[in-house]
Amino acid sequence: MSAVFVGYKTVVAPDFSNYVVEPKAPKNYKDPEKINAYIEEAKAEIRNTCASKPFTGIFQEAAICIYDDSCEAGNSPEFYCGKVYKGAEEFPEFLKELEDSVWQGVQAFMFQSYNFMRMVCLQAIRSKIKSRLVNHWLLNHPKARGLIVDLPKLFLPSHEEVTRIGYINMFKYFGVPLTVADLDNTQIQASKLYELYCAADKFDGLVVSEVNNGQ
């Protein structure tokens, strides 16, 4: 097995409002109606982005798809998707499989790995799940960080690039069709990452850590 591809979905935590600062209108706002409108709009914006951020988002579902190049001579490498892990009940099992892959030296490719791994680590700690991967990732261990790769970020390294080009157009540039609906299906999401990985000639097992250590 030479690489795994993680497709995932997150949702807003039921108690997210306990962990966000109450928004306030600018001091120059005097009209109560405008103040209330500003605060309600700010609250809506916070809620709309909570699902993808640590402390306010939680794991909903993930698929781990595997690229295996250890086939016998003459056979083509295999790519296949395994179990889809759903909800808090299967979150520990997902985390264990991801940990096992990384500690075998296998690269794990995903979207927005920094935010997702922060969310995973915080959720694991809060749920009292023992995980070597969580400890090593939080402490910036080179193996944990270097083998969990935000594949799209290699090509869209800044917020400006993401805004200007976008994921769908970036994938299209490399000949990989991608739709919003694809991103909502965890197995298809992982499969599209694999297609992008193939378009980039599979990186030949290189470990990329500098891309993942920043936000």
Whether 104 is in a domain gets the answer yes
Whether 38 is in a domain gets the answer no
CA-closest candidate to residue 186, choices 95, 62, 83: 62
Q: pLDDT band at residue 25, thresholds of 50, 70 and 90?
A: confident
- Counted domains in the chain: 1
Whether 24 is in a domain gets the answer no
Question: Are the C-beta atoms of 146 and 161 separated by less than 8 Å?
Answer: no
Whether 143 is in a domain gets the answer yes
Cβ count within 10 A of residue 191: 20
pLDDT digits (tens, 9 = 90+) for 163-185: 999 999 999 999 999 999 999 99
- Rounded to two decimals, the pTM is 0.86
Domain span at 180: 3-12+53-205
Whether 180 is in a domain gets the answer yes
Question: Are the C-beta atoms of 90 and 52 separated by less than 8 Å?
Answer: no
E strands within 69-122?
78-86, 107-110
Q: Is the pLDDT of residue 27 over 60?
A: yes
Whether 210 is in a domain gets the answer no
Whether 83 is in a domain gets the answer yes
Q: pLDDT band at residue 209, thresholds of 50, 70 and 90?
A: low
Q: pLDDT band at residue 85, thresholds of 50, 70 and 90?
A: very high
Instruction: Report d(CA 127, CA 92) in Å as an integer.
Output: 9
CATH of the domain at 150: 3.30.420
pLDDT digits (tens, 9 = 90+) for 134-173: 999 999 998 888 899 999 999 999 999 999 999 999 999 9
Question: Are the C-beta atoms of 148 and 157 separated by less than 8 Å?
Answer: no
Whether 177 is in a domain gets the answer yes
Q: DSSP character for 176?
A: -
51 exposed, middle or buried (CB, 10 Å; 0-12, 13-18, 19+)?
A: middle
Strands 57-68 and 78-86: antiparallel
Q: 65 or 35, which is more confident?
A: 65
What's CA 126's distance to the chain center, in Å? 19
Tokens at residue 112, please? 């927005």
